[in-house]
């Protein structure tokens, strides 16, 4: 005979304000097998857990039902409490009467009725629970970091520091990411390259770190502690091991009119290129879309070949093919970063019409000493000094969903203040206007920085938004905007307009999330496991989040999160083995008809078929093809139990009979 | 503050004025700005406050070109021009004080005049 204890939690007023918890406890006390039914204010507190533990000992409970919050929140807490009192932890069931009941209902009567039904279902299920024992699986002592910007570099350095092997996979020809393109950094105005490039070098020289540049993750299989990733090293037509980065090939290349992606197309480069002087790895890459030889289609043709002639070490290889590497990892850190959005939808700012309307990232390149103008700020159209510059904030940020991004891009207020200040410092004869909706400066020394731009550098901050930008025949730009405080419409005759463009997650993020079975929000930012308490972990075990792939962030925040993600990954990698989930599938070989339906739906490749000998009723021996589950690989998703036509597949802890018992209890 | 008028303007415009984030882009883009005593962003804010009668008594409601530049460019999709139109409509409906009396309509029937015009006029010029 089962002896079941029911424990109903008030969760303060979270549950008790909408659910009559006393009535729930009373109703459930009459369920078959229930020997004790109690309610308490905070069941997850130590006193609450002691109620459970004491009842297990006192009543010799064979099953426990806790009516409380979601099992995602506290199932583990109560399982541990049960285990401490000597009850198998898998004999504990949670009835979610908070997220699925009290939070979504308003009327006490209906919420209470539903809570009772959810409790009854859990009691019915726990009747059929069986003790389960968790197995263990080994942890591969190697981490994969996807993305080689400042977030990925910092995460990799920290993991390597702890003594573990790390691979960085970067899709571009060099690591460094967006920070490498930035000129100066707020609020201290130190140069980005001066603080980033030493870290890039450190990463390349660290024995524990392997950098796969110009590479992509093409497949990921497995689970926490035991991932297998396939890395595609894209053909760059240059042997990385031979190339010394001398740059002779780039000089020899006759195809010089390739838009320079690193400078955002503001100047040109050659078809064979090294992205920038401090690139890591400093290896040349041929752009096959522009290379005269590769575009020809037949590499054996005698076209061009100037780079191969110039190369003194014979590193050029026109026959190079994509290479695939397979590697085992214990932990994966996503650091795919961000991009500015495309401005095609915002015709009013004339971005596509006028070369002197630029994005803020383009301005970074225009002001950078290594940029297209060698650090002198010139208008892209006629290479003259601009004397009046208008900055527009919130371009594409804080919009209705139909108009742009609904979120604040967070970094624009500060970098605009930085740009305004730097321009006023270097070119005091230039007037700078900033149109803002709000100036958002939460951060250490941030508001002081913005005030300096206004008070010391006399940047004109105007509360209002630019409505229309019109390039004029004389080369200037008419900026029509509202000044809300003086309640007038302004027309500014500007030489340049800079748009603080909203940022969005990199396009590679969504396919990657599918590959990793991690969650994203509607804006394609990766979702953290808990918004407040687990900010650097994804909801999928073993996948961690670093930097702007999780939400807009400035550099200090990105570095902080990168190190936090590293410490979480290290916490996993130091373990020799991790406890597996015992709620895995198993097949009843006598019922299995060998149809392979389960094998086809299994997302983890946990099911294999083998031929086995069976004794038949007529005492003959028959060989039948039956399914078997590898419990170390199975993640307990249950897809096979649904697919199985003969009912041979069943899931521990969520057996078909348990689910049916729950349904029966609900329908009763 | 006139809650009935506010309700009427909100209902007939179909605009949720609370979506406004006070950026002023509508007034930044308005080609009729200098002609108007109250500007598009003020329309939205004054309707939110319920200060409709001031708007109804202002010539601004006839200065709006209904070019919909503000509707097109509003980042929050507030649609200020529809608010202006709704205030204009409230004014038109208010005017008249029963210029048309139902009993007089049969006399006005004319073969050349579509009946629809009379119905429309009746709707507009009757309290």
Write the pLDDT tens digit of every residue in B38-82: 999 999 999 999 999 999 999 999 999 999 999 999 999 999 999
Question: What's residue B120's pLDDT?
Answer: 78
Say yes or no: A347 contacts chain B, CB-CB below 8 A: no
Q: How many CB atoms lie within 10 A of CB A273?
A: 22
Q: Mind telling me how many Å the CA of B89 is from chain A's nearest CA?
A: 26
- Tell if the CB–CB gap between B27 and A403 is shorter than 8 Å: no
| Cβ within 8 Å of B, A 424-483 | 437, 463-468, 480-483
- Tell if the CB–CB gap between B25 and A466 is shorter than 8 Å: yes
User: Residue A336: which of A212, A233, A218, A216 has the closest Cα?
Assistant: A216
- Tell if the CB–CB gap between A400 and B77 is shorter than 8 Å: yes
**Residue A451: pLDDT over 70:** yes
- Tell if the CB–CB gap between A467 and B22 is shorter than 8 Å: no
Contact B62, B114 (CB under 8 A): no
Structure tokens at A514: 């599918």
User: Residue A2: which of A124, A132, A96 has the closest Cα?
Assistant: A124
Between chain A and chain B, how many beta carbons pairs sit less than 8 Å apart? 72
pLDDT digits (tens, 9 = 90+) for A291-333: 999 988 777 888 899 999 999 999 999 999 999 999 999 999 9
Q: How many CB atoms lie within 10 A of CB A356?
A: 23
Chain B contact set for A480 (CB, 8 A): 28-29
Phi then psi dihedrals of residue B34, to 5 deg: -65, -20
Question: What's residue A468's pLDDT?
Answer: 96
Question: Which residue in B36, B75, B81 has the most chain A C-beta atoms within 10 A of its own C-beta, making it the best mutation to test that interface?
Answer: B75
pLDDT digits (tens, 9 = 90+) for A247-282: 999 999 999 999 999 999 999 999 999 999 999 999
Host H or E run for residue A123:
helix A108-126
Pairing outcome for strands A431-436 and A388-395: parallel
Q: How many CB atoms lie within 10 A of CB A326?
A: 10
pLDDT digits (tens, 9 = 90+) for A603-638: 778 899 999 998 888 889 989 999 999 887 788 889
- Tell if the CB–CB gap between B75 and A398 is shorter than 8 Å: yes
Residue percentage of chain A with pLDDT more than 70: 100
In this structure, what DSSP letter does residue A375 have? T
Question: What's residue B98's pLDDT?
Answer: 64
Question: What's residue A617's pLDDT?
Answer: 87
Helices (H) and strands (E) in chain B, counts: 9, 0
Residue percentage of chain B with pLDDT more than 70: 92
> CA of A490: which chain B residue's CA is closest?
B28
> CA of A401: which chain B residue's CA is closest?
B76
CA of A133: how far to CAs of A74, A499, A576, in Å?
A: 19, 59, 19
More confident residue, B93 or A445: A445
Say yes or no: A489 contacts chain B, CB-CB below 8 A: yes
Question: What's residue A631's pLDDT?
Answer: 85
- Could you tell me which residues of chain B have a Cβ less than 8 Å from any Cβ in chain A? 19, 21-30, 33-34, 39, 41-42, 69, 73-77
The CATH 1.10.1060.10 domain(s) of chain B lie at 3-94
Residue A465 has its nearest CB partner, among B25, B39, B42, at: B25
**Residue A664: pLDDT over 80:** yes
- Tell if the CB–CB gap between A467 and B69 is shorter than 8 Å: yes
Structure tokens at A269: 């480069």
**Residue A289: pLDDT over 90:** yes
pLDDT digits (tens, 9 = 90+) for A549-559: 999 999 999 99
Structure tokens at A579: 């406890």
Question: Averaged over A133-149, what is the pLDDT?
Answer: 94
Mean pLDDT over each residue of chain A, to the nearest integer:
95
ipTM: 0.81
pTM as predicted: 0.85
User: First vs last Cα of chain A: how many Å apart?
Assistant: 22
CATH number (1.10.10.60, 1.10.1060.10, 2.60.40.420, 2.40.50.140) of B3-94 reads 1.10.1060.10
Question: What's residue B1's pLDDT?
Answer: 65
């Amino acid at each position: 005979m089962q002896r079941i204890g029911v424990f109903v939690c008030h969760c303060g007023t979270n549950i008790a304000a909408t659910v009559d918890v006393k009535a729930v406890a009373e109703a459930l006390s009459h369920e078959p097998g229930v020997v004790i039914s109690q309610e308490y204010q905070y069941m997850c507190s130590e006193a609450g857990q002691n109620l459970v533990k004491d009842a297990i000992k006192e009543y010799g409970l064979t099953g426990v039902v806790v009516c409380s919050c979601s099992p995602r929140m506290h199932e583990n807490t109560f399982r541990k409490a049960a285990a401490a009192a000597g009850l198998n932890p898998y004999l504990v069931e949670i009835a979610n009467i908070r997220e699925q009941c009290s939070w979504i209902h308003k009327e006490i009567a209906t919420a209470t009725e539903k809570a009772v039904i959810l409790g009854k279902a859990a009691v019915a299920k726990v009747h059929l629970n069986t003790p389960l024992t968790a197995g263990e699986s080994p942890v591969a002592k190697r981490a994969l970091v996807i993305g080689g910007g400042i977030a990925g570099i910092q995460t990799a350095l920290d993991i390597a520091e702890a003594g573990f092997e790390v691979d960085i996979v970067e899709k571009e020809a060099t690591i460094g990411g967006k920070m490498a393109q930035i000129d100066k950094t707020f609020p201290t105005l130190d140069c980005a390259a001066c603080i980033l490039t030493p870290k890039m070098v450190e990463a390349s020289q660290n024995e524990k770190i392997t950098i796969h540049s110009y590479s992509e993750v093409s497949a990921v299989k497995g689970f926490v502690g035991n991932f297998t990733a396939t890395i595609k090293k894209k053909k760059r037509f240059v042997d990385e091991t031979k190339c010394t980065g001398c740059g002779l090939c780039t000089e020899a290349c006759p195809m010089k009119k390739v838009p320079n992606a690193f400078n955002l197309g503001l100047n040109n480069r050659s078809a064979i290129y090294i992205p920038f002087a401090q690139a890591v790895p400093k290896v040349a890459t041929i752009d096959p879309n522009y290379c005269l030889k590769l575009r020809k289609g037949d590499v054996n043709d005698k076209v061009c070949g100037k780079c191969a002639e110039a190369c003194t070490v014979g590193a050029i290889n026109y026959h190079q093919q994509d290479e695939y590497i397979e590697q085992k990892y214990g932990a994966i850190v996503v650091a795919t970063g961000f991009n500015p959005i495309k401005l095609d939808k915002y015709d009013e700012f004339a971005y596509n019409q006028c070369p002197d309307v630029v994005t803020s990232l383009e301005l970074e390149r225009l002001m950078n000493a290594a940029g297209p103008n060698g650090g002198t700020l010139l208008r892209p159209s006629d290479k003259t000094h601009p004397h009046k510059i208008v900055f527009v904030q919130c371009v594409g940020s804080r919009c209705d969903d139909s108009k742009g991004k609904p979120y604040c891009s967070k970094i624009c207020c500060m970098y605009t203040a930085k740009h305004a200040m730097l321009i006023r410092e270097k070119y005091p004869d230039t007037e700078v206007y900033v149109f803002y909706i709000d100036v958002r400066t939460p951060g250490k020394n941030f508001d002081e920085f913005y005030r300096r731009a206004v008070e010391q550098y006399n940047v004109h901050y105007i509360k209002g938004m630019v409505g229309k930008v019109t390039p004029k025949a004389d080369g200037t730009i008419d900026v029509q905007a509202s000044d809300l405080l003086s309640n007038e419409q302004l027309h500014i005759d500007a030489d340049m307009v800079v748009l603080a463009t909203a940022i969005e997650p990199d396009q590679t993020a969504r396919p990657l999330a599918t590959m990793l079975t991690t969650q994203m929000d509607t804006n394609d930012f990766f979702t953290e496991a808990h918004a407040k308490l687990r900010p650097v972990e994804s909801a999928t075990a073993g996948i961690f989040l670093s930097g702007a792939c999780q939400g807009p962030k400035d550099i200090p925040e990105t570095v902080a999160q990168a190190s936090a993600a590293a410490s979480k990954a290290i916490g996993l990698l130091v373990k020799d083995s991790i406890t597996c989930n015992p709620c895995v599938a198993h097949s009843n070989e006598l019922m299995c008809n060998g149809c392979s339906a389960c094998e086809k739906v299994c997302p983890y490749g946990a099911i294999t078929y083998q031929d086995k000998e069976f004794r038949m009723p007529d005492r003959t021996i028959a060989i039948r093809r039956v399914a078997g589950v590898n419990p170390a690989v199975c993640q307990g998703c249950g897809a096979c139990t649904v697919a199985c036509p003969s009912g041979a597949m069943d899931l521990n802890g969520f057996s078909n009979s348990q689910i049916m018992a729950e349904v029966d209890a609900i329908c009763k | 503050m006139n809650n009935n008028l506010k309700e009427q303007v909100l209902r007939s415009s179909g605009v949720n004025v609370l979506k406004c984030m006070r950026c002023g882009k509508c007034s930044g883009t308005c080609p009729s700005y200098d002609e108007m005593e109250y500007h598009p962003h003020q329309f939205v804010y004054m309707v939110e406050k319920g200060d409709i009668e001031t708007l109804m008594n202002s010539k601004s409601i006839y200065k709006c070109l209904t070019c919909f530049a503000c509707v097109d460019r509003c980042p929050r999709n507030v649609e200020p021009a529809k608010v202006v139109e709704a205030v204009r409509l409230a004014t038109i409906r208010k005017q008249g004080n029963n210029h048309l009396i139902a009993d007089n309509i049969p006399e006005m029937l004319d073969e050349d005049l579509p009946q629809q015009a009379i119905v429309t006029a009746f709707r507009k010029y009757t309290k």
